[in-house]
């Protein structure tokens, strides 16, 4: 009986081991998958191209340094992605761009292309960036700080005797004469600052600080903001559209009044 029980126990153990092997192999694979980048969608309202607005799904998010965030244009029209008030990329309707953040806080806005931008309401997204590892400075544990300097001990040397004023006056006169003669014989020191700076100092340019956030292309390379935002300025076009609308409304009103007046005066001649 004991031998049969041992065989059954060994068979159950082997079956359990075979059933658990796929689970053991699948667990590291799922753990190695990278986390998906967080995404924020921008939506807006208004009267089509006349009054436009833009509002993110959430007002503030917090990400780690060098993290990527997916920004989606859900405004129903093309828009320009602005990072800290600067145009960074043109985003068509329904498209998504990835932005990598190096430091923060950063304000990101999606500005739609409005024809008549009379009352714009563009709410930005605030992105807080935190470092991955912050090291706290170590404090000294001893009774004295390492930067503390030892106090000076009072000197025990006897002070020299002061000669009498009568005997010192001729020596002082001789010393002053020697000092004046030595100062008259020496040349004045040259000034350290030069009147004409060297060309190397003028040619140096200040170091350009990298941007806090960068828009990434399809191949995860940095995009050129000047090349991506090539849409023309629509300020004069909007003004001309307003003038044209006013003219059309005025001409239409005049034509309607003329037709009504003509119909009103026709029965009198009949």
The span from the CA of 269 to the CA of 96, in Å, is: 69
Rounded to whole angstroms, the Cα distance separating 83 from 142 reads 49
Alpha-carbon span 67 to 38, nearest angstrom: 9
Please name the residues in contact with 265: beta carbons below 8 A apart, sequence gap of 6 or more.
none
Q: What is the structure's pLDDT at 30?
A: 45
pTM: 0.45
Instruction: Give residue 262's pLDDT band: very low, low, confident or very high (50, 70, 90).
Output: confident
The more confident residue out of 224 and 67 is 67
Using one digit for the tens of pLDDT, what is the confidence trace for 20-32?
665 655 544 444 4
pLDDT, one tens digit per residue, over 167-216 is 444 444 444 444 444 445 566 566 565 555 555 544 555 555 566 777 77
Phi, psi of 212 (to 5 degrees): -75, -30
Is 95 in contact with 87 (CB distance < 8 Å)?
no
2-16, 63-77, 237-251 — which one is most confidently predicted on average?
A: 63-77
Top-tier CATH class for 39-131+211-230: mainly beta
Instruction: Tell me the domain boundaries of the chain.
Output: 39-131+211-230, 232-270
- The pLDDT value recorded for residue 46 is 56
What's the pLDDT tens digit per position in 63-80? 898 888 899 988 888 888
Neighbours of 8 (CB within 10 A): 10
How far is it, in rounded angstroms, from Cα 37 to Cα 52? 28
Q: Tell me: the pLDDT tens digits for 145-169? A: 444 444 454 454 555 554 444 444 4
Question: What number of residues does the chain have?
Answer: 270
What is the rounded (10 degree) CA torsion for 82, 88, 92, 93? -20
More confident site: 238 or 87: 87
pLDDT of residue 118: 60
Percent of the chain past pLDDT 70, that is, above it, reads: 45
């Amino acid at each position: 009986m004991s031998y049969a029980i041992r065989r059954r126990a060994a068979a159950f153990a082997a079956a359990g081991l075979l059933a658990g092997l796929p689970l053991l192999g699948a667990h590291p694979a799922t753990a190695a998958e990278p986390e998906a980048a967080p995404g924020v969608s921008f939506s807006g309202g208004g009267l089509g191209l006349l009054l436009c607005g833009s509002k993110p799904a959430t007002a503030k998010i917090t990400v780690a340094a060098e993290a990527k965030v997916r920004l989606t244009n859900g405004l129903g029209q093309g828009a320009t992605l602005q990072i800290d008030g600067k145009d960074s990329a043109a985003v068509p309707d329904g498209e998504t761009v990835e932005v990598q953040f190096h430091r923060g806080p950063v304000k990101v806005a999606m500005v739609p292309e409005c024809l008549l931008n009379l009352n714009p309401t563009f709410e930005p997204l605030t992105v807080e960036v935190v470092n991955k590892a912050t090291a706290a400075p170590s404090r000294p544990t001893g009774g004295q700080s390492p930067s503390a300097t030892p106090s000076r001990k009072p000197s025990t040397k006897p002070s020299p005797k002061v000669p009498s004023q009568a005997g010192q006056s001729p020596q002082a006169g001789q010393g002053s004469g020697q000092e004046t003669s030595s100062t008259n014989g020496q040349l004045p020191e040259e000034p350290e600052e030069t009147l004409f700076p060297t060309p190397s100092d003028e040619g140096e340019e200040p170091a350009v600080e990298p941007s806090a956030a960068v828009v990434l292309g399809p191949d995860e390379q940095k995009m050129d903001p000047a090349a991506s935002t090539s849409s023309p300025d629509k300020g004069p076009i909007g003004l001309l559209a307003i003038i044209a609308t006013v003219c059309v409304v005025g001409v239409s009103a005049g034509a309607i009044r003329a037709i009504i007046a003509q119909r009103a005066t026709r029965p009198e001649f009949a």
